[in-house]
Amino acid sequence: MSRRTRNARPEAPGPSGFLVVDKPAGWTSHDVVDAARGWFGTQRVGHLGTLDPQATGVLPLAVRDATKLVPFVPGDPKVYRGTIRLGLETDTLDGDGEIVARHAGPLPDEPALQGVLATFLGEHEQVPPMYSAVKQGGVPLYRLARRGEEVERAPRKVRIDAFRLLAYRPPEVDVEVQCSPGTYVRVLAAEVGARLGCGGHLQSLRRLRSGPFDHAQATTPEVLAAEAERGEVEARLVRPVAALGMPALRLDAEDARRVLNGAALPQGGSVRMPGDRVAALDPTGALLAILEVSPDRRLRPLRVLRSLAAGS
């Protein structure tokens, strides 16, 4: 028996689902995951997209068997509210970095700023910053950056659906951004400064929405820790079916057994196209599996879940 097996503690039983944490500034996303493992008494916790330590706001977590559903939860859209500081450039593109350039001239007026923000709408390519968790050769870029190294990074396609000016108090610019997953708002801030000719960096950032999860659902770690002490934290979990955003199909006992064994089902009276996905529920209404319509129009199990009944 391995040392790890001898020292392993039995996990606390409980429901599965998603938790929306209001991440505080200074916490890494992994810090939040570690805290949640203590709140729920399980190691099976993961996040659905990182936030920089400086950033605050919506950080969705998957708890227990909901971790198996992370690839099926929509990540679009992402909505952020932040402040760009014009006139100063930093090596990290945000307020945590060292200043590398200062702009001595006058700052742009509001019409010029509005015009530049409009140029970002739609799809374009964005190069990930060196201070990011993107890996190159198996090494996170931020580790290379801390060693003073800079490497070529492949650009990624991102989409900006909205880039609104909320307030302009030179040199500070308050904005709201709706964008695709994988967009770095730090890079947007630096690009805004570059296009304006004065440089800039992201001074602060708050995520308001991540896919189906928004700030109205988010709870601070302090509140969650207190609720965990009282045995109330599991009431915060968002049901997996609610997060998936898929049509649901309740199965009878025979069809549920077939799905558990990996068998495909006929569509019955429904009309779905190949590639469409359905959340299959067992006779009690518990989430049983994710089914996908195959080219022959049958519902084939894509992911089968055996222990979500308590939290579906």
Catalytically active residues are 52
Write down how long the chain is.
312
Burial of 188 (0-12, 13-18, 19+ CB in 10 A): buried
For 92-116, b/e burial (b = at least 16 CB within 10 A) is: bbbbebeeeeebeeebbeeeebeeb
The position carrying tokens 């920089």 is 52
Map residue 285 onto helix, strand or coil: coil
- Helix, strand or coil, per DSSP, at residue 58: strand
Per DSSP bridges, beta strands 56-63 and 122-126 are unpaired
| 86 DSSP β-pair partners | 200
Tokens 């559903």 identify what position? 69
Q: Which segments of 75-199 are extended strands (E)?
A: 78-86, 88-90, 99-102, 122-126, 135-136, 139-140, 156-169, 172-179
Tokens of 143: 């580790």
d(CA 123, CA 126): 10
Closest by CA position to 86, among listed 170, 206, 205, 165 = 170
Instruction: Give the CA diameter of the chain.
Output: 74
